[in-house]
Structure 1
Amino acid sequence: MTTGGAGDTAGANGGGGRAVCVYAIVPADVEPEERAAGIGEPPSAVTVVRYGDIAALVSDIPERPLGTPQDLTAHSELLDGAAAVTPVLPLRFGAVMSDVESVERELLRPNHDEFRAALAELEGRAQFVVKGRYVEEAVLRELLDENPEAARLREQLRGAPEETTRDARMTLGEIIYRSITDKRAVDTRRAVDALAAVRPVVAERPPTHDQDAVHLAVLIDLSRRGELEEALSGLAEQWDGRIRLSLLGPMAAYDFVMKREPEG
């Protein structure tokens, strides 16, 4: 995405009467780069519908149902690529409107001031996702050292036939689950504290795996990306061999903006 001049009228290709996929709201001076690709095979061209100080990124929809893995990837790559250079208010995947004129008339015009204010809040900022996963052997060893009951059950089960130890295995599984849940809460707080100097806006995400230790979305000034990476590097050193950390982004601020559904 690049920025340039902007008008006050619809500026997308395709014409009225053809349904379009709507990806995001952006400032009106945004111009898609030639390589910007929407959904479809071959990828559809991304164009812009403008109204006042805001615009919508749109493309023609393919003549088939939406929702393939390739569609989802194209949607997120377009939004994340745009978020690296301009404020982006992402819409949920599959937002479709009846034609270009309805994008201006029903989405941009009635929500102009709200969208403009939200874009101003995101100026110079982007979302990153911090993900940490426990090293299984390390966290299990830690848990057994801390919980004598779990250690006793683990020893009891060692070499015992599975058919005669069902209850004990279930009890041990419940202890491990509760312990991991407690550890996740503590380690998430440690991660939030470690990032405090970057002054992020933080949203805790639910775990996607039983061994997730940390799952955070953080909204930061892009100028502080180096500080974010440095803070996580220090945390990774503290957790070496216990938690594996990763950082994703920059990406659109999925966790921090209202995702209005167009009515098309």
Structure 2
Amino acid sequence: MAEAIMPQHNHLLAALSGEVQQRLFPHLEPVEMPLGKVLYESGDTLRHVYFPTDSIVSLLYVMESGASAEISVVGNEGLVGVALFMGGESTPSRAIVQSGGHAYRLLGQRLKDEFNRHGELLVLMLRYTQALITQMAQTAVCNRHHSIDQQLCRWLLLSLDRLPGNNLTMTQELIANMLGVRREGVTEAAGKLQRQGVIEYSRGHITVIDRHKLEQLSCECYEVVKRETDRLLPYLPQRKTAGLPSTA
């Protein structure tokens, strides 16, 4: 039987004290997060924040031409909608579900009320926002200086860290849109990983079978983001390679 989805499956919510949980949890609304669902578009006024449990949301910048590139991913380590408590109320990015699953939705005003108590939630949200900014900055550097092969490895590792297992449901076309590259480049890079025994890819399903090798093939950008996230958010479970054998 599948495990029931609980608010504590989101690590931010799980890190809150019982007192804060009692104030927020009654107002959490469980929502389905189907693949490709757009949570908000560029410039939309944000009314809710989302706490993913077993889904991943990509934040994309979309150009006038329609071209897009991912600037960060959010999964069970965080929340979507930091602009609400930072005072901006809107953002120039698009939020789209990259890996389907579930999340808990909370009315933005509820979060702001708790944030404005200047207690533990404020500290937690600010530390999470700093980790998110680090990921955005490193993504920009990676997209400019590293190969598609390395970018794909980084992207796969960041996604795995935000999911309970080692399987992703993702088309090559969607990956190309996330990375802001041509689909042919993703096809070639994924083919190399499959031939090296790092992943198995079939009909939009990716299974990572050698995470250790995947980390070796990635650029330093993944480790920079991981190290800073672990430093700022020590409540996160440590990334594990158990069950993902290495052939190195």
What is the TM-score normalised by the length of structure 2?
Answer: 0.23
Whichever of the two has the greater Rg, that structure is 1
What is the TM-score normalised by the length of structure 1?
Answer: 0.22
